[in-house]
């Protein structure tokens, strides 16, 4: 499975009618669904997608899209024009597609929108437009207001918490925040990892080296590691039968005990806690 990167997402963001948007065909590809199914789900939930969440391109705009991007050549002779989704529309898509994949992809796309917005905010006149858009957000079902706040504001260190079944975004966001904190090293001890862990690790700084300690029967293969290292660098997997619980060590300074395998975040109720006793942290490092 191809890792979804910021560059891939950025290449699929266009500006139409003064808004940064993504085309339905590109979103369908990223969410791994058919374009027809994506638009059908939107139609079934039309009240969730007002005009500033989703709108259809005019003939002129469609022609501009085709002229500037070869992969839309198929639209040249199409009798219908594509739909595009604003940042808020993309966020709402994860609520109507109803899959873990949709939620994870939506989070990655919104992260990219946020980073691009930070750049745009430096240009005169654009910051006021961005703030106006954000002030109109009235998303309820998935609490997307919490998502944008979490993405744009720093979070205080949380020492312990409990995530309940269904809190997929909250659990995912928590782990991503920890991964982004690392400046030098990350150590993940988890016996049941899969490729979703590599997706999370794409959020790390490229200079951060990662060591994953897991069982020998991991579905992550040598080729997966090779491809990851070619793009993101410094990932090593070690095998051990000595660990039952899951741990995350950041820069050999912070130790977290996580009650569920990282691949199962949000599927069942689990707790995490920061281990503040530095002697315990050192003892664990010595066992690695």
Domain count, the chain: 2
List pLDDT tens digits, range 162-209: 878 878 778 888 888 889 989 999 999 998 888 888 888 988 888 999
Amino acid 49: pLDDT: 92
Does residue 185 share a domain with residue 139? no
Amino acid 82: pLDDT: 94
Amino acid 55: pLDDT: 95
Amino acid 120: pLDDT: 58
Given a cut of 50, the residues of the chain with pLDDT beneath it are 1-2, 124, 126-127, 130, 132-133, 136-142
Amino acid 163: pLDDT: 79
- In sequence order, the 6+-apart residues with CB closer than 8 A to the CB of 106 are 90, 91, 93, 94
Does residue 168 share a domain with residue 86? no
Amino acid 1: pLDDT: 38
Q: Which residue's structure tokens are 């966001």?
A: 173
Does residue 135 share a domain with residue 207? no
Regarding pTM above 0.85, the answer is: no
Strand-pair partners of 214: 239
For 159, list phi and psi in degrees, rounded to 5. Answer: -90, -25
Does residue 276 share a domain with residue 173? yes
Does residue 52 share a domain with residue 178? no
Written as six digits, the tokens of 270 are 């689990």
Does residue 60 share a domain with residue 30? yes
Nearest to 177 by CA among 207, 144, 200: 200
DSSP string, 240-257: -SS--SEEEEETTTEEEE
Chain mean position to CA 161 = 21
* Neighbouring C-beta atoms of residue 204, cutoff 10 Å: 21
CATH number for the domain harbouring residue 171:
3.30.870.10
> Does a structural domain hold residue 93?
yes
Does residue 264 share a domain with residue 167? yes
Q: Are strands 209-214 and 235-239 parallel, antiparallel or unpaired?
A: parallel
Give the structural domain span for 183: 157-287
> Does a structural domain hold residue 1?
no
> Does a structural domain hold residue 197?
yes
Q: Which residue's structure tokens are 């993504």?
A: 22
Q: How far, in Å, CA of 246 to CA of 248, rounded?
A: 7
The residue from 149, 172, 200 where one domain ends is: 149
DSSP string, 95-147: HHH-SHHHHHHHHHHHHHHHHHHHHHTTSTTHHHHHHHHHHT----TT-HHHH
Strand order of the β-sheet with 13-16 is 13-16, 19-23, 83-86, 54-56
Nearest to 146 by CA among 109, 120, 173: 173
Does residue 58 share a domain with residue 175? no
Amino acid 142: pLDDT: 47
């Amino acid at each position: 499975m191809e890792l979804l990167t910021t560059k891939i997402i950025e290449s699929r963001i266009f500006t139409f009618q003064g808004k940064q948007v993504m085309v339905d065909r590109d979103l369908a590809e990223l969410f791994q669904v058919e374009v027809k199914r994506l638009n059908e789900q939107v139609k079934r939930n039309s009240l969730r997608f007002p005009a500033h969440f989703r709108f259809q391109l005019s003939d002129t705009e469609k022609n501009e899209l085709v002229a500037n991007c070869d992969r839309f050549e198929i639209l040249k002779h199409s009798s219908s024009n594509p739909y595009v989704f604003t940042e808020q529309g993309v966020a709402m898509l994860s609520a109507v597609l109803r899959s873990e994949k949709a939620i994870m992809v939506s989070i990655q796309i919104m992260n990219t929108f946020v980073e691009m917005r930070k750049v745009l905010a430096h240009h005169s006149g654009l910051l006021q437009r961005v703030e106006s858009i954000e002030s109109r957000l009235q998303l309820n079902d998935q609490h997307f207001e919490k998502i944008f706040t979490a993405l744009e504001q720093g979070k205080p260190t949380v020492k312990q918490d409990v995530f309940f079944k269904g809190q997929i975004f909250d659990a995912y966001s928590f782990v991503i925040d920890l991964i982004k904190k690392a400046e030098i090293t990350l150590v993940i001890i988890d016996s049941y990892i899969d490729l979703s862990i590599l997706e999370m690790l794409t959020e790390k700084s490229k200079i951060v080296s990662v060591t994953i300690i897991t069982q020998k029967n991991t579905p992550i293969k040598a080729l997966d590691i090779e491809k990851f290292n070619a793009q993101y660098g410094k990932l090593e997997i070690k095998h051990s039968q000595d660990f039952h619980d899951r741990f995350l060590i950041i820069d050999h300074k912070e130790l977290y005990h996580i009650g569920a395998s990282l691949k199962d975040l949000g599927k069942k109720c689990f707790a995490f806690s920061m281990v503040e006793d530095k002697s315990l942290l050192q003892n664990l490092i010595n066992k690695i």
